[in-house]
Amino acid sequence: MMRFGRLLTVLLVLGIAAGCDDRREGQAIVATADERASQAAIDILAKGGSAVDAAIAAQLVLGLVEPQSSGIGGGAFLLNWDASAKKISAYDGRETAPAGVRPDLFLNEDGTPMDFMAAVVGGRSVGVPGVVAMLRLAHDAHGKLAWGELFRPAITLAREGFEISPRLAEALGNAPELLNNDETRSYLAMRDESLPAGWTPLPMGAIVKNEAYARTLEAIAERGPAGLSEGEVAQAIVDAVQGHPNAGTMTLADLAGYKALQRDAVCRPYRRFEVCGMPPPTSGGLTTLMILGMLEHFDLGALQPAGVTAVHLISEASALAFADRDRYMADADKVDVPVAGLLDRSYLASRAALINPGKASGPASAGVPPGAVHRAEGIDGARAGTSHLSIIDRDGNAVSMTSSIEGPFGAHIMAGGFFLNNELTDFSFTPAGSDGVPVANAVAPGKRPRSSMSPTIVLDEHGSLHAAVGSPGGSRIIGYVTETLIALMDWKMPMQAAINVPRFLNRNGPLELEENTPIVALQAPLEAMGHRVTVRPAISGLQGVERKDHGLTGGADPRREGKVLRLP
C-alpha cells in the first residue's frame, strides 16, 4: 500500500486539491487539519457562534483525532479579526517554563547539549500548558455561544469513538517510544504476541474511545481553565511530569499561576496589503514580515511563480531574516527584542541591498538593527508538529490560530487523556555562546520558549479582511507561510492554488526543494547560482480562507488531511 505522505505528494503533483472548489460560495468558511474538526466548527457557526467559538470547538476535536500535533496539553497563538471594529487582536497561549528550571536544563554533566530526543521524551521538556487559558481569554472577548456548549462535539466524539486516520496511523508507526509507556501503549496500541515488544501501534481505521479526555473536557467546560490547572487533572499532569525517569520540575503552583496574554499584533504594509502576525515570543510574525519587507524591493509579480529567479530572491531574503531571528528573537517579556528595529524600513532596505539577483551569497550573518543588544546564536532543535485552522464567520469576523504540543506526540507522556507538550525544547540548549555572550532564547523560569508559529491575517487596501492563513511545520512554518502569502499577493493565486505551490525555503542553510514536485527541476540552475540545494519531503499543513469579490474561498494543504467546509 502506498504510504499516506507519498500519496498526498502524488495528488499534489497531479494538481488535485484536498480542500475545496474555489468557485463555490458561502456565508462562513472553515479550514482545519481534519474534517471532523471542520465539521464541529461549521456546526457551531450554524448555531450562530463566532469565529472564536468555532475555533474552540475545532481545537478540542483536533486534540482528540490529531493527538500527535496539538491539544489542551500544549499552547497556541490566535489572531482575531473583528469586522465591525476593523481591529485585530492577538492572543498568546504559549507555554511557560516551570519556576524550578535552571539554565542547564538541557546540558549533560560535562556541559555539552543533550541528544535532542533524550531531552524530548519525559517530563523534562514539558512546559506549563496555555491553550485552554488562551481560548477562554479570546472567548471572553469574542465568544457568542456559551463556553460549555463548545465542548459537546469533542466530548461526544471521545465517548462514541473516532477512527484512526491514515496520517495518525503513520505517525504512530514512526513513534516506537510510545510502546514503552503503559498509558500511551494502552491507548494507541494493541497486543501482538508475535512481536518482541508484544504490542503494535493501532492501524488506520481502528476505532478509539477516550473516556479520560471526555471527563477532562467536562471539567473544563464546567470550571473554565481551572478544570485543567487545578484539581484532579492538574495533579495528573504534575504526577506525569515529576514521575517520569526523565523528570521535570512542574508543580501545581506552576499550573495555577499560568496567564494567557493579549498582545498587539505586528503589522506591516506589503504592496497594496497589510500583513499582520503574532509578536514574540513567536518569531513567526517578525521573520515573515522581515522577508516581505526585503522582497518589496523586487518586482516578484513580474517573475514566473516559483521560477528560478523568484526562488532565489525569496531564499536569499529568508536566509537574512533567519540570521536575525536566531540572534535576536525570544520572549520579549524576559529579554530585549528589537521589534521596531527589525521592521525598520531603512534597516530592511539595507538587508535587501545584500541580495545579489544573480548569485547566492551563502550563509547570512545577523545584522545590527536599531535598538539591538548583542546576543549569541542558540541551538534550535524544534521538530515539525503543530496544527493550524482558519475561519471566517457569518459576520465577517476571522480567526487564524496555530496550536502545538511541539513534535509528534509531544513529550510522549499523557495525563487526563491528552498528550503533554515538549515545548521547552524550543529553548536553546546552550544558555550562552562560547565567548559567554547570553543567548536570547535561553531557558529561564516563567519564560516562554521561542516559537515559529505564524498565524497570519492579511488586510486589503481598504483595511478590510482579505485572508487568514497559517501552517504547521516547526521552524519551516515561516517559509511555508511566506511563500503562500507571496503566491496570494504577488502572483494573484486563489488560496488553494497558493497552498498547492511546491514548497521551497531557506532557514539560513541549504535551499530546500520539495521532493517529487516540478520544482526539483530547478536544482541545477540554483546550484549554478551558488546555492547548496537539498531535496526533501514537505511537511506543511497550510489552512487558509480568503474573501473574494464573489464570496469566501479556502484551501487545505493536500500534503496532510485538512478539509475546507462552508456554511451555505
- Run means of pLDDT, 10 residues per run, the chain, 568 residues: 38 42 63 98 98 98 97 98 97 98 95 94 97 98 98 98 96 89 90 81 96 98 98 98 97 98 98 98 98 98 97 98 97 97 98 97 95 78 80 97 94 97 96 89 97 98 97 96 98 98 97 98 98 95 94 96 94
Helix (H, G, I), strand (E, B) or coil at 342: helix
| Inter-residue contact 377 to 326 (CB < 8 Å) | yes
Nearest to 88 by CA among 277, 251, 217: 277
β-partners of residue 506 are: 511
Q: What is the separation of C-alpha 229 from the centre of its chain, rounded to a whole number of angstroms? A: 23
Nearest to 136 by CA among 146, 126, 121, 122: 146
Which residues make Cβ contacts (< 8 Å) with residue 263, sequence separation at least 6?
A: 90, 91, 92, 278, 279
Just list the catalytic residues: 386
Class of the 263-382+436-440+449-567 domain? alpha beta
CA distances from 148 to 60, 216, 260 (A): 12, 12, 19
What pLDDT does 17 receive? 42
Nearest to 540 by CA among 491, 493, 458, 474: 474
Helix (H, G, I), strand (E, B) or coil at 212: helix
Please state, as a whole number, how many other Cβ atoms lie within 10 Å of the Cβ of residue 112: 10
Please state whether the peptide bond connecting residue 153 to the residue before it is cis, i.e. omega within 30 degrees of 0: no
Please state whether the peptide bond connecting residue 281 to the residue before it is cis, i.e. omega within 30 degrees of 0: yes
CA 36 – CA 58 distance, rounded (Å) = 8
Pairing of strands 189-191, 199-201: antiparallel
CA 145 – CA 49 distance, rounded (Å) = 6
Please state, as a whole number, how many other Cβ atoms lie within 10 Å of the Cβ of residue 307: 12
Residue type, 477: I
β-partners of residue 30 are: 391, 565
CA 130 – CA 253 distance, rounded (Å) = 14
CA distances from 56 to 80, 89, 101, 402 (A): 13, 16, 31, 12
- Give, to the nearest 10 degrees, the angle between helix 131-142 and helix 51-65: 160
Q: Show me where the domains of the chain are located.
A: 32-262+388-426, 263-382+436-440+449-567
